[in-house]
């Protein structure tokens, strides 16, 4: 079955390459709005990997990588593209959409065990071409939005007038 999926990916003729057809983003919420994660105690956490900001695509190849300070452990993943993918996100995954897709898509929901021990401002990101491949068009995706772990929110000084101006005319 995996061989058939790999053949399908190869037959699409168009695997998304970096900086040409959108980007891969990692979110900590199912609404795809939060790219931060707090690791302040032991728990299970889901993250969401999304292919976004592209005009059309038939597939994508990428792998995730954690910075040295991220101590979460990958437990597993699911994909709405089953059976049209091969591999895993930490080792390298290729997804064939089996059709031309025109909108942002959820690629994987990945489950991590957190321990509350990740370093401040560590991250989980898409690796920038760390793996070679025999297939020249299986370039690994890079230049993406990562998931920032335990990063404090920047605080800027302001005035009450500036805060009110943000909501003026609403």
User: In 3-state terms, what secondary structure has residue 106?
Assistant: strand
What does the pLDDT look like over 59-80, one tens digit per residue? 788 889 999 999 999 999 999 9
Q: pLDDT band at 127, cuts 50/70/90?
A: confident
Length in residues, the chain: 170
Are the C-beta atoms of 70 and 121 separated by less than 8 Å? no
Residue 61's pLDDT is 82
Dist CA 144 CA 164 (whole Å): 34
- Cα 79 to its chain centre, rounded Å, is 12
Dist CA 9 CA 11 (whole Å): 5
What does the pLDDT look like over 17-42, one tens digit per residue? 444 557 889 999 999 999 999 999 99
Residue 163's pLDDT is 64
Q: Are strands 147-149 and 122-126 parallel, antiparallel or unpaired?
A: antiparallel
Task: Please name the CATH architecture into which domain 2-167 falls.
Answer: Sandwich (2.60)
Residue 159's pLDDT is 66
Q: Are strands 122-126 and 42-52 parallel, antiparallel or unpaired?
A: unpaired
Contacts of 156 (CB under 8 A, 6+ apart): none
Greater confidence (153 vs 19) lies with 153
- Signed CA dihedral, 128, 133, 136, 138: sign only: negative
Are the C-beta atoms of 89 and 64 separated by less than 8 Å? yes
Q: Which of 93, 103, 114 is nearest to 47 (CA)?
A: 114
Taking the whole predicted model, whether its pTM rises above 0.85 is answered as no
């Amino acid at each position: 079955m995996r061989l058939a999926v790999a053949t399908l990916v190869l037959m699409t003729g168009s695997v998304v390459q970096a900086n040409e057809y959108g980007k891969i983003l990692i979110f900590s919420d199912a609404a795809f709005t939060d790219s931060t994660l707090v690791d302040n105690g032991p728990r299970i956490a889901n993250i969401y990997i999304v292919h976004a900001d592209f005009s059309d695509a038939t597939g994508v190849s990428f792998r995730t990588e954690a910075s040295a300070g991220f101590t979460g452990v990958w437990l597993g993943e699911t994909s709405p593209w089953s059976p049209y993918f091969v591999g895993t996100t930490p080792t390298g995954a290729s997804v064939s959409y089996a059709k031309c897709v025109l909108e942002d898509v959820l690629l994987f929901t990945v489950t991590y065990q957190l321990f509350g021990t990740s370093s401040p401002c560590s991250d989980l990101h898409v690796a920038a071409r760390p793996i070679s491949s025999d297939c020249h068009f299986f370039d690994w995706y890079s230049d993406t939005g990562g998931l920032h772990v335990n990063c404090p929110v920047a605080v800027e000084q302001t005035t009450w007038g500036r805060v009110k101006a943000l909501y003026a005319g609403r």
